[in-house]
């Protein structure tokens, strides 16, 4: 324990990076909210966030993902003392992978073959990072760790999103819509089908934003001066 505290005193929690993470999170959240207002042709209930790339404000979606990635990378810098423990280091690695996935989401939109891999790299990695980093912080005496419930929200909303996806595709199949034969996203929701996958997708964004904000606040409060 003394070794960990000594390393922390040498490296220190980086409050400026935590502020950058907060600002980037706010920008990403603000851009996503603006997209809802600027692109009402994409119903939030069943349209995925990535589908805004097919609208007239694709640049705003790029801001969403770039700022999201910046938030993750800045948070790594803010939490750098966690590298002193195995649990913390693994958490930081997964947060880095989450940032890579978010960057890929900005570079490769929903129409690109690498968008799917971007999601599969970024989302699970972020979910794992949130839990591991929060557990690592909770074991340290030199920082008031964010609540663990916030760390579990990303993977819980991710699980809900997967479940709503399954229900959505099942409902489409019931009314005779085979998504495997579709050349692109649905243009409208078939009669008799209710979709909630869009809300689950947005809940995942909100959960990740909340965790990043609470974690950066913990760093700022634990920094002298």
**Total number of domains in the chain:** 1
Contact 83, 8 (CB under 8 A): no
Dump pLDDT digits (tens) for 163-176: 998 888 777 777 77
Residues 6 or more apart whose CB falls under 8 angstroms from that of 133 comprise 79, 82, 88, 91, 92, 95, 151, 215
Q: What is the pLDDT of residues 55-77, one digit of tens each?
A: 999 999 999 999 999 999 999 99
Q: In terms of residue numbers, what domain contains 28?
A: 2-221
* Burial letters 150-169, b for 16+ CB under 10 A, else e: bbbbbbebbebbeebbeebe
Residue 182 CB neighbours (<10 A)? 11
At 178, the pLDDT band (50, 70, 90 cuts) reads low
The half-sphere exposure of 75 on its side-chain side, counting CA atoms within 13 A, is: 36
CA angle 119, 121, 124 (to 5 degrees): 85
């Amino acid at each position: 324990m003394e070794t960990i505290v000594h390393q922390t005193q040498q490296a220190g929690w980086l409050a400026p990076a935590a502020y950058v993470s907060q600002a980037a999170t706010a920008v990403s959240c603000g851009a996503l909210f603006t997209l809802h207002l600027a692109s009402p042709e994409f119903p939030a209930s069943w349209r995925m966030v990535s589908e805004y790339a097919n609208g007239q404000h694709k640049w705003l979606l790029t801001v969403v993902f770039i700022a999201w990635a910046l938030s993750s990378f800045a948070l790594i810098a803010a939490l750098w003392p966690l590298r002193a423990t195995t649990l913390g280091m693994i958490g930081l690695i997964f947060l880095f992978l989450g940032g890579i996935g978010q960057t890929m989401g900005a570079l490769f939109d929903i129409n690109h073959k690498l968008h799917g891999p971007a999601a599969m790299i970024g989302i699970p990695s972020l979910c794992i990072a949130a839990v591991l980093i929060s557990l690592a912080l909770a074991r340290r005496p030199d920082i008031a760790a964010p609540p663990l419930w916030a760390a579990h929200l990303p993977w819980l909303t991710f699980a809900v999103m997967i479940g709503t996806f399954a229900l959505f595709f099942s409902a489409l199949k019931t009314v005779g819509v085979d998504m495997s034969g579709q050349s692109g996203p649905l243009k409208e929701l078939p009669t008799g089908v209710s979709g909630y996958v869009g809300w689950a997708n947005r809940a995942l964004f909100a959960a990740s934003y909340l965790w990043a904000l609470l974690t950066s606040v913990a760093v700022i409060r634990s920094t002298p001066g």
